[in-house]
Amino acid sequence: MATIEIVKRAATRPTWAEVSLQNLRHNFSVVQRHVGPQNTICAVVKADGYGHGATGCARALEEEGARWLGVTSLDEAIPLRDADIQARILLMTGFWRGEEDEIVRLGLTPTIWDAGQVEQLEKAAARLGLRHAVHLKIDTGMGRLGVDAEDLPQVCAALKDSPHLIVEGLSTHLASSEILDAPSVADQLKRFEDVRRELRNQGIEPPLVHVSNTGAVISRPEALYTMVRPGIALYGYFLPFERAGREVSGSKLKLPIKPVLTWKTRILSLRDMRANQPLGYGGTYLTKAPARIAVLPVGYADGLNRALASRGRVIVREYYAPIVGRISMDLTLVDVTGLPGVSVGDEVILLGKTDGLSVDAQEHAELANTVVYEILCGISKRVPRRYN
């Protein structure tokens, strides 16, 4: 029988993302100083570390002092344990029936919100002869996950009947932490405090109480409690704060964080075009005069948002160059007319900064009418991450 030889080759397609673990560590330290040493940080590395690579980021965060990491589910936690990450791992959206034995075996901490979850975990912990920690989530108004106040007695009863489970944490999630005058925040915190009192009356008083995402970490000191769950801030961004529908800026609403990811490519081809030349699919862009067009080996399959077509810009040789025409699956066109010395193979910055010029994920998000999270998480797996 013929054998198939698998040859491993280095990635040669010149589109990549550079992830600064130094900046990631810096951002973690900034957040820790902001919340104080008494507050535990659960560093969120879900969605593959917001597109930065969960394992590499988790290892750097653990080395910097993170004792907790937040992921979405079991399938995001397993690679971290396989990589010998020892930090506590919070499963922020609970678990599916049938995952409970693996969760207990790997020492993962699930978020729970109903009696059925309690019963499944109790049986798994009993089978394995272990006591296992859980975090109880309360729905205070987000309307997604969490126990409602009227169902709380049933969940408490199930917990009391579960000698192998320890209620270590209590949490909720704020729907509008970036809207400074949103009355819903105060309403949610009041509901949360009401539940805390009820649990205290039931003899349940978890040491880890957490409400705050990045927005609340920065803007809501009353919501810090004993643990916080920063995500996007660790990667160098936060959503703009608003009051009465208007964006608010100010030094008190900023932390000295740094973007962690720089996205680069190289010029694949240079084309000299005549005036009135249609470019790209549909010919939606016409050159106004003779133009020099650079072809970049990056497209929407890599995560470059199509909404940036004829709106976004890149950095070439310390100059801005506009994206022209529609962004296609694998290729993007930029106008480099008049830029000195531009050559095939030149490095192009899609996200990042150099010599006073900057194109960041917030700029992409505003042009694409979306949020920073989607821009970063949208950088696809075929873009290799290089850690430095």
Tell me if residue 286 falls in helix, strand or coil: strand
* Catalytic-residue membership of 373: no
Closest CA to 320 of 348, 345, 300, 346: 348
Phi, psi of 220 (to 5 degrees): -125, 75
- The amino acid that residue 132 corresponds to is H
Which of 46, 50, 225, 264 is the catalytic position?
A: 46
Q: What is the DSSP string of 253-285?
A: G-------EEEEEE--EEEEE-TT-EESGGG-E
Rounded to whole angstroms, the Cα distance separating 248 from 242 reads 5
* Catalytic-residue membership of 288: no
Rounded to whole angstroms, the Cα distance separating 18 from 347 reads 13
Q: What is the DSSP string of 101-166?
A: HHHHHTT-EEEE-SHHHHHHHHHHHHHHT--EEEEEEB-SSSSSSSB-GGGHHHHHHHHHT-TTEE
Give CA torsion, residues 145, 164, 159, 227, to 10 deg.
-50
Which of 50, 235, 237, 281 is the catalytic position?
A: 281
Active site amino acids: 46, 281
